[in-house]
Structure 1
């Protein structure tokens, strides 16, 4: 499932690399956290089924941080890092539970952008009516029944552990053809979102499974943001997202490491250009974009002899982006991933290495949060304080009190 093309598709070339560079980064301190509070995952005795019982209201989500604190003028902000996962399906490779376990070990929350078709059996594919495409069409594979069950179990556990469940929509139609999401109109996005909702909230009817617990949330209230396939189509998505009451969107086709602003009333959380060791240009902060630059002739399986070097470069890119923000403007860092073993799984290892580095106990006030939790914090701040933070460029040091 391809997310990006070659290095210059978003204009991040040599000139951008020079503008984004920063030197002399050094820091110390102790690790912060997402501030999770104690809870008892799995307790749904008072669950109230919704619809066919695919989902249920189980009360306030457990393992959430305390109410956001309001920065004083001149006070240094926390360093937020948001790890996100596109698709969020479990195909038996151990990656979904691996990163849930990693998050739990380091008190981190993440955002899982779930592809709705991963809850729909292929035998029912004609229930999907993708805009500008044939009925039942999809550019990603449907899951087996076994993998649908594993995915639903992981989604349930992830929410109870404090993670956010967003959307990656359904059929993943990218590219430039007439069926691409790049050409969808606002009403077509609304249809796509409603279908994604239906596949999540009616999985019990569509699958016939009777041996699984419901997803422990009301998806009509849980779903407050998403990321489009190949970062295409945001202009026509935003009016619909705003109409539906979403709080953010993460579909901007490449951004800088600066404090976020809003587009059409929604927080705009783009993937970001970060330093790319061994290269003269920055790379977008996502696993696929690194793979597309390291092994362009075969993105998923390049020469194994290069894997150690590429893993080191990918890890260095994530850590380099973190260091630059942490030591300068403290802009939130957004990292995108897929549960994929491209190039021998080195990008999964790089994400794990980077997360451990960020939460290793030597950095003060680092918060590994979901996009929804970041929205809560941003919305609690004084607009003038946020405006001041947005005035800091890439690598421009925060000079207030810390």
Structure 2
């Protein structure tokens, strides 16, 4: 891929896009005011009452070598999902997700955590397991169909591994989901993930989980805070490198109890269904201003159609491209929001390609989307929780709407149970 170094632009994973000429490989609440207690022994009316001692929080229960821990239910979660009422307009779900989810010194991970806090948003971070494995221990990684220790995205520096641990820790406590982007990100040649068998995927997943669950042993940083979650329970879905290999991944995902997969390329803006028993949540084709074709809803795929895979194109193009990327995301949002209310999935990378314009576009899009009524900015995990709480017949009706199709008669008429003929005098319905 021209213009992309092995450790640079490709670092956090690419996808497969829709583009000109063909698909382009690209990879809390405030406390209440307290009144004074009634006068009594030892009470002085002019002195403030002593605050009650805060309840002691149970220490985390360390798991394995202490790399991860059980700290209780994840905080900062939305209310438990409920089924849509008869005739109710569905919410507009928008899911921002991040492939790789490593902090490499550019400040993008904390930037988007702050943005999420400002707009009550939750996101999914697809963590690459290798980003918690120091390069000095690279031979612990045995990638299927590739040499021991190989990786097409390289390894992070020790300092960046520590930064990644810090922000993954913070992200989970703030209510975001930690999924997986697997490990070595092999997209080409005979070792490509597109050629992997189910056994290969099983090995890759076990290694990705191991690198997250054993980073203390692998780094020797035993005084570094443990991650506040049980990864075996947290991990319920992922996105494959370059959106390749889903068919052989899904049987393994189902065996592992995963609830969704976000690896399908070129999906449509329609309500999702399950594939091989797992929710199939694909990146989607969205309008691309100035073109007749659509582009995949991922930063790199917009780049691939603007600068032909170059991540350092002439800067004179940046203002126009930034606007075009922003308008593309917003056009995809509006098409769903104003018609079938299909969930809108956006994929990103913590990269500064073409001067960081795609990060600016994602930020501006999120700000504008968040201002709309009925919008829910959620993680994939939170979205499948909602899906699983719905009446299957209602979901089937939602899936009956095509891209850009409004519900006939409006939502109040469309999402109502079909009227069945009443029984006649003889007792039998005609």
Settle same-fold status: TM greater than 0.5: yes
What's the counterpart of residue 285 of structure 1? Answer: 297
What's the counterpart of residue 375 of structure 1? Answer: 384
- Verify: 1:395 aligned to 2:404, yes or no: yes
- Verify: 1:156 aligned to 2:169, yes or no: yes
Residue 46 of structure 1, aligned match among 49, 52, 59: 59
- Verify: 1:105 aligned to 2:118, yes or no: yes
TM-score normalised according to structure 1 size: 0.90
What's the counterpart of residue 116 of structure 1? Answer: 129
Residue 253 of structure 1, aligned match among 265, 274, 286: 265
More relative contact order in 1 or in 2 (CA 8 Å, sep 6+)? 1
| 8 A Cα contact 2:272 2:279, kept in partner | yes
What's the counterpart of residue 242 of structure 1? Answer: 254
- Verify: 1:315 aligned to 2:315, yes or no: no
| 8 A Cα contact 2:81 2:385, kept in partner | yes
What's the counterpart of residue 367 of structure 2? Answer: 356
5+ long unaligned stretches in structure 1: 13-36
What's the counterpart of residue 214 of structure 2? Answer: 202
C-alpha distance in 2 between matches for 1:178 and 1:9: 25
1:209-247 alpha-carbon deviations (Å, 9 max, x no partner): 133210000000000000000000000000000000000
| 8 A Cα contact 1:254 1:273, kept in partner | yes
What's the counterpart of residue 344 of structure 1? Answer: 355
Residue 339 of structure 2, aligned match among 328, 342, 347: 328
What's the counterpart of residue 229 of structure 1? Answer: 241
Cα offset for 1:39? 11
5+ long unaligned stretches in structure 2: 1-9, 32-55, 414-430
Cα RMSD (Å): 1.7
Secondary structure of the structure 1 residue equivalent to 2:334: helix
- Verify: 1:275 aligned to 2:287, yes or no: yes
C-alpha distance in 2 between matches for 1:364 and 1:270: 24
Show the 5 A alignment for 1:81-92: 81-92=94-105
What's the counterpart of residue 61 of structure 1? Answer: 74
Show the 5 A alignment for 1:134-153: 134-153=147-166
| 8 A Cα contact 2:173 2:228, kept in partner | yes
What's the counterpart of residue 20 of structure 1? Answer: none
| 8 A Cα contact 1:44 1:216, kept in partner | no
| Cα distance, 1:207–1:341 mapped onto 2, change above 3 Å | same
Secondary structure of the structure 2 residue equivalent to 1:61: coil
C-alpha distance in 2 between matches for 1:308 and 1:126: 43
C-alpha distance in 1 between matches for 2:65 and 2:330: 45
Cα offset for 1:45? 4.3
| Cα distance, 1:194–1:370 mapped onto 2, change above 3 Å | same
TM-score normalised according to structure 2 size: 0.84
| 8 A Cα contact 2:17 2:295, kept in partner | no
| 8 A Cα contact 2:109 2:350, kept in partner | yes
| Cα distance, 1:54–1:199 mapped onto 2, change above 3 Å | same
What's the counterpart of residue 15 of structure 1? Answer: none
Residue 138 of structure 2, aligned match among 85, 105, 125: 125
Aligned residues: 372
